């Protein structure tokens, strides 16, 4: 979250004690809520969750959802827009068993992928794009 949105914004959104520090518990609650929302949509699409290695797109979507949820009120227009776009992506992806699994590479963690481990084959998404 800090890498995506900056330490100052995350501190301002999580520092409920006004001690000038990021409250890790508040941040963990927001990211946990975002993960639960994403897992719910992916499970509805038949995609096993949680993923061993997060995909870059899911990480971005989770960040946008968590950021929005950290605003008690007064989320900026861009924060609201990114939140709505994240939810729309999840809604639209649920009916397709998600193009994410077949097309997005996981964040680099050194894991090797074999064709046997793929949830969706290349032919499963033919005509989607």
CA distance 35 to 54: 11
77-92 confidence digits (pLDDT tens): 999 999 999 999 888 8
pLDDT at 1 over 80: yes
43-87 confidence digits (pLDDT tens): 887 777 777 666 788 899 999 999 999 998 889 999 999 999 999
pTM (2 decimals)?
Answer: 0.71
């Amino acid at each position: 979250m800090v890498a995506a949105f900056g330490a100052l914004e995350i501190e301002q959104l999580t520092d409920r004690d006004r001690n000038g520090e990021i409250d890790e518990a508040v941040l963990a609650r927001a990211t946990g809520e975002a993960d639960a929302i994403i897992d719910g949509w992916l499970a509805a699409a038949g995609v096993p969750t949680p993923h061993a290695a997060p995909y870059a797109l899911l990480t971005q979507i989770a960040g946008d959802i968590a950021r929005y949820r950290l605003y008690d009120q007064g989320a900026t227009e861009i924060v609201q827009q990114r939140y709505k776009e994240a939810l729309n992506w999840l809604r639209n992806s649920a009916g397709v068993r998600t193009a994410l699994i077949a097309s997005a590479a996981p964040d680099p963690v050194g894991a090797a992928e074999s064709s046997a481990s793929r949830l969706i084959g290349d032919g499963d998404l033919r005509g989607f794009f």
